[in-house]
A and B are shown apart, each in its own frame.
Chain A
């Protein structure tokens, strides 16, 4: 049972500002993912919450209690570290029991909790082993186990899966989610992997250069990125951005990029019409550009022709790199496309999914 609140938290290391005016409300039982590029201050934020760093300004509350000056052990949190931080000289059992022993739990209670956690994580057979006798995935489980025996109200994960191979990562992702459902506690999870963020978070917080850029449900952030950074960071392959101008032609609002001319759908005309004749960045995701061959119906105004530069078959779809004037854009099309490198192809843009961003930093969505 715990809510977490950051009030304008700032952290400076000498002259570098790692985190700036970080404000966030986290509800009880929420699975919040902090995501952003390397060095954006995710770990620092988490470490301030854990009590491993002191914030320079602002307050942090856990369950309504200001914890700025509360010792980590009294914050009712548990942390899973990127490199697991398992005590190498202790067995798995002792690793998990250590925190409980320090808190003077009775022996049988410790025993019960460790076995319970081991069962949940399917590591009961490993309890007598030392960390170096475990595989990466098993160490990961022990690290999680060490956190759950404490039954804290908030779990903190700092890039816990980044040392695992791709397959194991997908598997552990699912297991951590299951664990969350089972434990019903608040989880704050740090990653620089946007796929991890999208698949795991009930709420994701996108950070860059120490600041929060957007907070929302994964799908909200995907559908309505508030600025170009978020739009480019969330989604893979990344969104295409092209310089363009909004013009009015034949009583219809158009996006004019010089090499292409696309029409704004009726549903969006109202919002965008006030920006007519303004320069902007036009954004469209690769998955919203289609190979015309495979569409039965399409808006003929939104077809354009361009030369294919590179073809990357992925299996369930094909990624095309397409030359458009001086720009290269990426399209994710049907796997059976007949596209050939060096040849022209007709593509259709789903303009219902278009985005426009201002040309002035921080490139807010229009």
Chain B
């Protein structure tokens, strides 16, 4: 009798004092928490299919290859055998490993900031245009659309020492022809330029979307305040596309670290490893030298580097960025 006369007012009050009272009401009736748990359970249920595939094709392979990287596993010992740090120690003493690492970091640091900067500048220029926008967007985005294999072939022709348009142009200008892909001095540069061309449009498009969040009135206010074109964008656009830049930075680092196709198709890491980089080196170890243990330890190193970089970047910039929406 007491309980039923208690419950009633509580029930009636519920919509008004939703949180607190439903808790008590729940404790009394013993039904509400169950329901909430069921809700939570159901939302997890929806994640399961996605998580399953992520598990199967991402997390498990990462764990598996991390494990393998501590094993000796090559043509001479075709069964994985635990070997501790052996693979890593070997790599440490291997010159090519350091060359490949140096090449990769050079590749990333040289290409990322110009790519980001120019992508943003192009995005701004296109954003300010009223006419012919679509035309400009497509012409910049086109390289991203075509398959890497086709792009690589195209650039092989462009870089061709005697018939390539680049050398013909250089000759016209009276500058000595370059070896491009065939010379160990220029091969990495040639790949950097080609990758820059391939990715620019992609990042430009992301920036273009980011720019839509910047209020036009801000530019007008700055214009009246007396800020010229550069100042306007350095003081207003650059800080305000911060969230986009963060995304572009992380994506660009990962994309650039992963560069493989064009190297495989254009230089095969040569000449003399001058354009060899991590992912291609992994491929070489795994599928040319059949040293899978070493390939997996390289993979582990790469994953660690990318994870660390991403964490550092988010740690440094994640909280400092101004999000325009309030």
Bound CA–CA A88/B242 (angstroms): 12
Say yes or no: is B21 at the interface (Cβ < 8 Å to chain A): no
8 A Cβ contacts from B205-229 to A: 215, 217-218, 220-227
Binary flags per residue of B239-270, CB closer than 8 Å to A gives 1, else 0: 11010000000000000000000000000000
Expressed in whole angstroms, the minimum distance between the Cβ of A62 and any Cβ of chain B is 14
Beyond A79-B221, A88-B326, A130-B322, 8 extra complex contacts between A and B, CB < 8 Å: A73-B225, A81-B221, A82-B217, A87-B235, A89-B239, A89-B322, A102-B225, A132-B326
Bound CA–CA A83/B231 (angstroms): 22
Residues from chain B with Cβ under 8 Å of A85 in the complex? 215, 217-218, 220-221
Say yes or no: is B236 at the interface (Cβ < 8 Å to chain A): yes
Expressed in whole angstroms, the minimum distance between the Cβ of A152 and any Cβ of chain B is 10
On whether the beta carbons of B326 and A102 are closer than 8 Å, the reply is: no
On whether the beta carbons of A72 and B223 are closer than 8 Å, the reply is: yes
Expressed in whole angstroms, the minimum distance between the Cβ of B97 and any Cβ of chain A is 43
> Which residue of A is nearest B217, CB measured?
A85
The 6 closest A-B CB pairs, nearest first, are A73-B226, A132-B326, A89-B322, A85-B217, A99-B225, A85-B221
Residues from chain B with Cβ under 8 Å of A88 in the complex? 218, 240, 322, 324, 326
Bound CA–CA A85/B217 (angstroms): 5
Bound CA–CA A50/B224 (angstroms): 8
- The contact sample of 19 A-B pairs, CB cut-off 8 A, is A50-B224, A52-B223, A73-B223, A73-B224, A79-B224, A81-B217, A81-B220, A85-B217, A85-B220, A88-B218, A88-B240, A88-B326, A89-B240, A98-B222, A98-B225, A102-B225, A102-B226, A130-B322, A131-B326
Residues from chain B with Cβ under 8 Å of A130 in the complex? 322
Residues from chain A with Cβ under 8 Å of B217 in the complex? 81-83, 85
Bound CA–CA A329/B227 (angstroms): 54
Bound CA–CA A81/B217 (angstroms): 7
On whether the beta carbons of A87 and B223 are closer than 8 Å, the reply is: no
8 A Cβ contacts from A148-187 to B: none
Residues from chain A with Cβ under 8 Å of B222 in the complex? 87, 98
Residues from chain A with Cβ under 8 Å of B215 in the complex? 83, 85
Expressed in whole angstroms, the minimum distance between the Cβ of B240 and any Cβ of chain A is 6
On whether the beta carbons of B231 and A102 are closer than 8 Å, the reply is: yes
> Which residue of B is nearest A77, CB measured?
B224
Residues from chain B with Cβ under 8 Å of A102 in the complex? 225-227, 231
Expressed in whole angstroms, the minimum distance between the Cβ of B179 and any Cβ of chain A is 47
Count chain B residues whose beta carbon lies closer than 8 angstroms to a beta carbon of A. Answer: 20
Residues from chain A with Cβ under 8 Å of B223 in the complex? 52, 72-73
Bound CA–CA A73/B232 (angstroms): 13
On whether the beta carbons of B224 and A72 are closer than 8 Å, the reply is: yes
On whether the beta carbons of B240 and A52 are closer than 8 Å, the reply is: no
Say yes or no: is A51 at the interface (Cβ < 8 Å to chain B): yes
Say yes or no: is A253 at the interface (Cβ < 8 Å to chain B): no
Say yes or no: is A107 at the interface (Cβ < 8 Å to chain B): no
Bound CA–CA A102/B326 (angstroms): 27
On whether the beta carbons of B226 and A51 are closer than 8 Å, the reply is: no
Bound CA–CA A50/B225 (angstroms): 11
On whether the beta carbons of A103 and B221 are closer than 8 Å, the reply is: no
Bound CA–CA A98/B125 (angstroms): 24
8 A Cβ contacts from B46-83 to A: none
Bound CA–CA A132/B227 (angstroms): 23
On whether the beta carbons of B224 and A51 are closer than 8 Å, the reply is: yes
Contact A99:B218 (CB < 8 A) given known A87-B236, A89-B322: no
8 A Cβ contacts from A72-113 to B: 72-73, 77-79, 81-83, 85, 87-89, 98-99, 102-103
Residues from chain B with Cβ under 8 Å of A50 in the complex? 224
Residues from chain A with Cβ under 8 Å of B227 in the complex? 98, 102
Bound CA–CA A88/B322 (angstroms): 7
**Central interface residue in B223, B224, B231, B239, by most chain A CB within 10 Å:** B224
> Which residue of B is nearest A71, CB measured?
B226
On whether the beta carbons of B326 and A78 are closer than 8 Å, the reply is: no
> Which residue of A is nearest B227, CB measured?
A102
Expressed in whole angstroms, the minimum distance between the Cβ of B109 and any Cβ of chain A is 27
Bound CA–CA A99/B217 (angstroms): 15
8 A Cβ contacts from A15-65 to B: 50-52
> Which residue of B is nearest A158, CB measured?
B217
Bound CA–CA A78/B220 (angstroms): 11
